[in-house]
Amino acid sequence: MPAERFVEQLNIQIGYEFAAHQQYVACAVYYDALTMPQMAAFFYAQALEERDHAMMMVNYLIDSDAPVIIPGVNAPQVDFADLVAPVALALEQEKRVSAQINELTKIAREESDFASDQFMQWFIKEQVEEVATMSDLLAVVRRSKDIEAIEDYVQREQSRQGPDPSAPAIAGA
């Protein structure tokens, strides 16, 4: 079984991942209402990815015979000043999650919980990709503010992605 400190913090992280899911749904709805289908689809996909991250964590705890606690989440931000605001919020969220993932890894290492440390490695790699993706998107949205150019960029960039075969198992999948 994973270290107790790690289990407690991973259960908290599950809540953070579900909160990120909700925030990305709110961003998607914002872009959907502006008739920006590529940005909406991007954020809907990001929302599902965050949900999957939470379920990977749930699955790890179940497989490790550790207690799973699904915390409630606060309501997401739904009002945005302009096209840039949701992406800027998303980048800050990804940076915050990166710090949380690093802290979880640190706890696993401090507790000599090698299995949990290994489990967290995929999330570290994932967060590097997430921050880079949001940083690039923010640069494009800030620079362009032309809806067609933004939509073209998202369509072009997102068509390259496929499922990651190294990802942890998702509970219920």
> Would you state the structure tokens that stand for residue 137, as one six-digit string?
């998107």
pTM, 2 dp: 0.92
38: nearest Cα among 87, 1, 105, 77 = 87
Buried b (16+ CB within 10 A) or exposed e, 64-77: bebebeeeebeebe
Q: What is the pLDDT, as a whole number, of residue 118?
A: 97
Q: Which domains does the chain have, with CATH numbers?
A: 4-158 (1.20.1260.10)
Q: What is the pLDDT, as a whole number, of residue 160?
A: 64
Identify whether the C-beta of residue 25 lies closer than 8 Å to the C-beta of residue 69: no
Straight-line distance from the first to the last Cα atom of the chain, in angstroms, rounded to the nearest whole number: 23
Identity of the residue numbered 44:
Y
Q: How far apart are CA 22 and CA 94, in angstroms?
A: 14
Using one digit for the tens of pLDDT, what is the confidence trace for 37-49?
999 999 999 999 9
Q: What is the pLDDT, as a whole number, of residue 12?
A: 98
Using one digit for the tens of pLDDT, what is the confidence trace for 72-127?
999 999 999 999 999 999 999 999 999 999 999 999 999 999 999 999 999 999 99
No. of H helices and E strands in the chain?
Answer: 5, 0
